[in-house]
Amino acid sequence: MYIHHINFVVEDLEAAVERFECILGQTVERRDGLPGRGALTARFKLGPTWLVLVQPIDPDGAPGRHLAAHGEGFFLCSLGVDDLDATADRLREAGVGLAGPPRRGLDNWRVQDLLPDYSLGEQFQITEELAGSD
Amino acid sequence: MYIHHINFVVEDLEAAVERFECILGQTVERRDGLPGRGALTARFKLGPTWLVLVQPIDPDGAPGRHLAAHGEGFFLCSLGVDDLDATADRLREAGVGLAGPPRRGLDNWRVQDLLPDYSLGEQFQITEELAGSD
C-alpha cells in the first residue's frame, strides 16, 4: 500500500497551479476535467504519488460541498492497492465502513471511498489502477 | 521531490493507531515523542512516505493549537528533498515565504516550514534526511 494521490480543493485552479509550480519546482503534469465530481483538476507527480489540485465547477459535487464547508485545503488521501475488491473485502471484515460502490476516478483509477467517521473525519479512499486503459 | 511525510493530528493516539492499523492492514512501525512540538507520534510507512499520527500533549505547541482550532484531521504535508538549504534558497527566490529557520523533526529529519498563506492555508514544509544519524 502506498499513497496514490492526495487532493487539495482550490477556488482558482490557475492561481493554485502557479503557486504549486513554485513550491514544487516543477511544471504541472496533467490537467483533466472530472465531470462525475463536478470539478477541474491539475496534478503533479511526486514519486509514486499524485498531488492533485481540484477546483469545483459544480457546487453540489463532493469537492464543491467540501469547499463551501471548509474552504481551500486538504480534501482527501487515497491509498494505492493492487486489488481494490480484495482490499474492500478486508476493510469490511475489519469493520471499516465503505461509502457507496467503487467509482471511476481520473484516468484508469478505480476508487472506493471509506466513510470519514472512521478516519479522523477526513476522506480516505483506496485506488486501483486498472490495466490497459488511461 | 517526493512526499516525505503527511501528518494527521489526533486526540487519542492509541485509538487512532488502532483504526489506521485496520485501514492500512499493517501494524504501526514507530512511536516517538516529539518534545519540541509538545506531541507524541506513531507512524506507518507507505512506500517512500511516512503517515504520521500526532497527539498533542502540550496545548501551546503547534499540533496542540491546530487541534484546538480545527479538530482532528490533516495537519501538514512535508516534501522530501536531497538538499534542504538549496531548496530553501530556491523557494525564497521564487517568492515562497519560509516560516522561521530549519528545525529538527523526528529521527534525522531536518525540516523547513513554509508559510501557509501561500499554500491554500495548509502547512507545507520540506524535509531532508541527514546522513549518519537516526
How many CB pairs below 8 A link A and B? 110
pLDDT over 90 (residue A133): no
Residue A131: band (very low, low, confident or very high) from pLDDT cuts 50, 70, 90? confident
B11-63 pLDDT tens trace: 999 999 999 999 999 999 999 999 999 999 999 999 999 999 999 999 999 99
pLDDT over 90 (residue B92): yes
- Cβ–Cβ of B3/A119 closer than 8 Å? no
- Cβ–Cβ of B16/A120 closer than 8 Å? yes
Question: Max CA-CA distance within chain B?
Answer: 44
Find residue B123's DSSP bridge partners: B76
What percent of chain B has a predicted confidence (pLDDT) above 70?
A: 98
A46-89 pLDDT tens trace: 999 999 999 999 999 999 999 999 999 999 999 999 999 999 99
A1-41 pLDDT tens trace: 999 999 999 999 999 999 999 999 999 999 999 999 999 99
- Cβ–Cβ of B96/A23 closer than 8 Å? yes
pTM: 0.96
Of the candidates A23, A25, A48, the beta carbon closest to that of B114 is on A23
- Min Cα separation B3/chain A (Å): 6
Average model confidence (pLDDT) for chain B?
96
- Min Cα separation B47/chain A (Å): 5
Of the candidates B48, B94, B96, the beta carbon closest to that of A47 is on B48
Average model confidence (pLDDT) for chain A?
96
In B10-132, the DSSP E strands lie at 30-34, 39-46, 49-56, 73-80, 98-104, 109-114, 123-129
CA A77 to chain centre: 6
pLDDT of residue B133: 53
Does residue A84 contact residue A40 with C-beta atoms inside 8 Å?
A: no
